[in-house]
């Protein structure tokens, strides 16, 4: 009896060319997908590209092109790696695609309508280099470690998911 089996890689971030780590992950995921197909499962194997963020914007500005131009070029590179390695993914999803945006909007709207998502301000320290918020506890001798690069204090309005009720 065939079972449905869904597997995805992490979606690659559009801030630079593919490297060995990307290839490693694709091949490992491909091994699992191929094994499950051999076992008779109905497999959906997805990979893709995350095309949002400050680093994408900064890379585009540095090159004098639009963010989508940077992403288009990188999408070709990442898809090329999959082809060269004969990775058997069934789909390649880009976060700028209309089909991706449509599904995300539908899911988020359902969660918002159910009160699972709420809007509030968030204030914190942000490392542009690491693309993450950091806390005071991460300072060493009162300074941010070099790994974080420039850290800026930001306040921004965000949507939050009520995760606590699922723990």
Write down the mean pLDDT value for the chain.
Answer: 94
| 80 and 10 belong to one structural domain | yes
Please state the domain count of the chain.
Answer: 2
| 9 and 79 belong to one structural domain | yes
* Position 27 pLDDT exceeds 80: yes
| 9 and 91 belong to one structural domain | yes
End residue of a domain, out of 47, 63, 96: 96
Give the mean model confidence (pLDDT) for residues 3-28.
96
Domain interval for residue 130:
116-166
Considering the entire predicted model, what is its pTM?
A: 0.78
With a CB cutoff of 8 Å and minimum separation 6, the contacts of 159 are: 108, 112, 117, 118, 119
């Amino acid at each position: 009896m065939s079972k449905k089996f869904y597997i995805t890689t992490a979606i690659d971030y559009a801030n630079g060319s593919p490297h060995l780590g990307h290839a490693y992950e694709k091949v490992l995921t491909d091994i699992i997908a191929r094994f499950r197909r051999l076992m008779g499962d109905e497999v959906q194997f997805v990979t893709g590209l995350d095309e949002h963020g400050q680093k994408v914007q900064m890379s585009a500005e540095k090159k004098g092109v639009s963010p989508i131009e940077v992403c288009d070029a990188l999408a070709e590179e990442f898809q090329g790696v999959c082809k060269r390695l004969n990775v058997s993914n069934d789909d390649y999803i880009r976060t700028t695609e209309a089909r991706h945006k449509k599904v995300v909007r539908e899911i988020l709207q359902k969660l918002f309508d159910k009160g699972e998502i709420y809007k509030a301000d968030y204030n914190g320290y942000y490392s542009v280099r690491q693309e993450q918020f950091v806390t005071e506890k991460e300072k060493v001798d009162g300074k941010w470690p070099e790994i974080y690069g420039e850290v800026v204090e930001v306040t921004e309005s965000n949507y939050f998911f009520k995760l606590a009720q699922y723990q």
